[in-house]
């Protein structure tokens, strides 16, 4: 940065995962106090963390470019700097004096949590006020969950904030380049079919969903092919803040009222289910906000060290080479697109956790890198829930063959993402290990050469996992700890019973694919 013409009165708005000008309280409040420096810091160390990837930066970079244009139209373009935040803020303060630092609250990963604590300490040492504003329904600090749902509703009902009328230009400050992924040391990760970043893309998806695609939302949620268009595809835009949660909620409710007025109760009901999932989005983020350690440590201590690392099994699962066609098709689709529907995400982690008996941190990091819509608060809460380490949720072990027959009965999804199985007869497609040698030769898919046999006996592995989990939940003291976790993190929205007690009565294990109601794996991707 070079010296600014306005000394000692600059309001710095630090953009993080809130890349928009609409419904941006820090930007609007700062604009009322004086000249604004809109700042985004590209942090190389952040992008070298194990949960970061080139696909995420590509989406973010596109959003930054559009944000810069939107801010320039107000009078002051986005200033981008590369480096460590405290170092850059200190340099700016020496050069022109920071009157106030503004940002949104962030429920990020452990690295950003530590970073924000350093920023807070520096701001205090310099006598610079740092005002953080909430952008989701996450409450900071939250002594307990009582009344949380009412507070969430109150926040979502607040008016959507218009952008500032104008920003006073600051002279002598260069905008700065937005680096490429290669310049940050991020290699190509093969995501050739990802969504495009930027607010205009988010608004297009929002309107398309509300006006057309949401009609089939409930029916197509679990279908890996149709969910691509029937889901809203807003999850990445919410994660990176090109859209605000509040504006999405209010737009959906307005559309739902219109549908009810026109007599289309079925379509309105689909939007209501969509809005429910937006509520759960914040519910899971609140868990990480209240207990940051759950990114790294099992929520229920009795489940620590439950699973065994295996580089071989992890590599097969990560590459879509387990020998279970729907599992492998889901992984390869996710690698290519950065998105997957909720049930298939849940199945991927369930198979990794139970049939392959892999630790949730190992598989969670791989998925975090693949998801463009990676939201740490949701992701790690759900990784633990799906792998059975929370101690308070019913454990569901997915049957991958039943999932395939239920949600891809014609094999459309599997044939698209596993071309080596394209000519396999339908009767064998979801279980190619049932083909005899001649059928394999005729189909051009010889097991062990063109496609692997299952790397584990998945039925036996599932039974062993179930037995281990039953034994664990029967241990003395397990339920007492689980009840304490429920009191701290459990939902209060519908007066849910003590999950630990329910789990003890029923054994706490269910096989998914039986039609049982389930909590979803990553609520963010539903929307």
In the chain, where the domains are located: 1-135, 299-526
Residues 6+ apart with CB under 8 A from 97: 7, 8, 9, 10
Residue for token digits 């941190």? 361
Angle between helices 148-157 and 245-261 (to 10 degrees): 80
Residue 7: predicted pLDDT: 57
Locate 181 and state its tokens: 């992924």
* Separation CA 421–CA 330 (nearest Å): 14
> CA torsion angle for 309, 311, 314, 319 (degrees, to 10)?
170
Residues 6+ apart with CB under 8 A from 79: 1, 37, 38, 39, 40, 173, 174, 175, 176
Q: How many Cα atoms are found within 13 Å in the side-chain-facing hemisphere of 492?
A: 13
Residue 6: predicted pLDDT: 52
Residue 496, CA distances (Å) to 117, 278, 311, 390, 492 in order: 35, 19, 39, 16, 7
The CATH number of 1-135 is 3.40.50.620
* Separation CA 82–CA 332 (nearest Å): 33
In a 10 Å sphere around its CB, with 0-12 CB exposed, 13-18 middle and 19+ buried, how is residue 515 labelled?
exposed
Angle between helices 311-319 and 360-370 (to 10 degrees): 30
Give CB contacts under 8 A, 24+ apart, made by 328-333: 328/417, 328/418, 329/224, 329/408, 329/413, 329/414, 329/416, 329/417, 329/418, 330/224, 330/417, 332/417, 332/418, 333/224, 333/413, 333/416, 333/417
The answer regarding whether domain 299-526 maps to CATH 3.40.1010.20 reads no
Q: What pTM does this model have?
A: 0.92
In a 10 Å sphere around its CB, with 0-12 CB exposed, 13-18 middle and 19+ buried, how is residue 404 labelled?
buried
Residue 395: predicted pLDDT: 83
Locate 449 and state its tokens: 């050469």
- Give Cα 326 to chain centroid, integer Å: 22
Residue 9: predicted pLDDT: 85
Residue 504: predicted pLDDT: 35
The Cβ of residue 302 has, within 10 Å, a number of other Cβ atoms equal to 17
DSSP 133: E
In order along its 527 residues, the chain shows pLDDT tens digits of: 444 445 578 999 999 999 999 999 999 999 999 999 999 999 999 999 999 999 999 999 999 999 999 999 999 999 999 999 999 999 999 999 999 999 999 999 999 999 999 999 999 999 999 999 999 999 999 989 999 999 999 999 999 999 999 999 999 899 999 999 999 999 999 999 999 999 999 999 999 999 999 999 999 999 999 999 999 999 999 999 999 999 999 999 999 999 999 999 999 999 999 999 999 999 999 999 999 999 999 999 999 999 999 999 999 999 999 999 999 999 999 999 999 999 999 999 999 999 999 999 999 999 999 999 999 999 999 999 999 999 888 888 999 999 999 999 999 999 999 999 999 999 999 999 999 999 999 999 999 999 999 999 999 999 999 999 989 999 999 999 999 999 999 876 543 333 333 333 333 444 443 332 333 333 333 33
Q: Are 154 and 134 in contact (CB under 8 A)?
A: no
* Separation CA 145–CA 137 (nearest Å): 12
Measuring CA to CA, which residue among 234, 17, 287, 43 is closest to residue 134?
17
The Cβ of residue 463 has, within 10 Å, a number of other Cβ atoms equal to 13
């Amino acid at each position: 940065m070079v010296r600014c013409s306005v000394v000692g009165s600059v309001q710095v708005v630090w953009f993080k995962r809130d890349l928009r000008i609409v419904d941006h309280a820090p930007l609007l409040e700062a604009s009322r106090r004086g000249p604004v420096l809109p700042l985004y810091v590209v942090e190389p160390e952040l992008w070298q963390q194990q949960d970061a990837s080139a696909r995420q930066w590509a989406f973010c970079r596109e959003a930054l470019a559009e944000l810069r244009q939107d801010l320039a139209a107000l009078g002051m373009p986005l200033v981008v700097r590369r480096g460590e935040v405290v170092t850059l803020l200190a340099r700016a303060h020496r050069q022109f004096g920071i009157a106030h630092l503004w940002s949104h609250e962030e429920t990020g990963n452990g690295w950003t949590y530590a970073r924000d604590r350093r920023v807070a300490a520096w701001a205090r040492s310099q006598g610079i006020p740092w005002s953080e504003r909430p952008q989701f329904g996450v409450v900071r600090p939250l002594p307990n969950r009582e009344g949380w749902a009412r507070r969430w509703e109150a926040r979502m009902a607040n008016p959507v904030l218009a952008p500032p009328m104008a920003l006073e230009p600051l002279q002598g400050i260069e905008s700065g380049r937005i680096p490429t992924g290669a310049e940050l040391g991020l290699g190509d990760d093969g995501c050739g079919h990802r969504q495009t970043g930027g607010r205009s893309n988010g608004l297009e998806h929002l309107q398309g969903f509300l006006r057309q695609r949401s009609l089939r939302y409930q029916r197509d949620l679990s279908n890996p092919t149709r969910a691509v268009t029937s889901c809203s595809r807003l999850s990445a835009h919410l994660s990176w803040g090109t859209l605000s949660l509040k504006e999405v909620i209010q737009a959906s409710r307005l559309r739902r009222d219109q549908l009810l007025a026109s007599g289309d109760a079925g379509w309105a009901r689909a939007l209501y289910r969509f809005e429910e999932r937006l509520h759960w989005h914040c519910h899971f983020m609140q868990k990480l906000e209240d207990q940051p350690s759950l990114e790294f440590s099992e929520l229920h201590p009795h489940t620590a060290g439950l699973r065994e690392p295996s580089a071989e099994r992890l590599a097969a699962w990560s590459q879509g080479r387990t020998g279970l066609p729907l599992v492998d098709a889901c992984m390869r689709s996710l690698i290519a697109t950065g998105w997957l529907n909720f049930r298939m995400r849940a199945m991927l982690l369930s198979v990794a956790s139970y049939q392959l008996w892999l630790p949730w941190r190992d598989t969670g990091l791989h998925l975090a890198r693949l998801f463009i819509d990676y939201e740490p608060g949701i992701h790690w809460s759900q990784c633990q829930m799906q792998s059975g380490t929370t101690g308070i949720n019913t454990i569901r072990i997915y049957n991958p063959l039943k999932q395939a027959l239920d949600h891809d009965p014609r094999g459309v999804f599997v044939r698209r993402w596993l071309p080596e199985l394209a000519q396999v007869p339908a009767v064998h497609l979801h279980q190619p290990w049932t083909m005899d040698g001649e059928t394999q030769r005729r189909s051009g898919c010889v097991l062990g050469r063109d496609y692997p046999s299952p790397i584990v006996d998945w039925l036996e592995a599932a039974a062993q996992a179930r037995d281990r989990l039953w034994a664990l939940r029967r241990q003395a003291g397990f339920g007492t700890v689980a009840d304490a976790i429920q009191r701290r993190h459990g939902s209060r929205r519908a007066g849910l019973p003590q999950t630990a007690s329910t789990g003890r009565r029923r054994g706490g294990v269910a096989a998914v694919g039986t039609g049982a109601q389930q909590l979803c794996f990553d609520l963010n991707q539903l929307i």
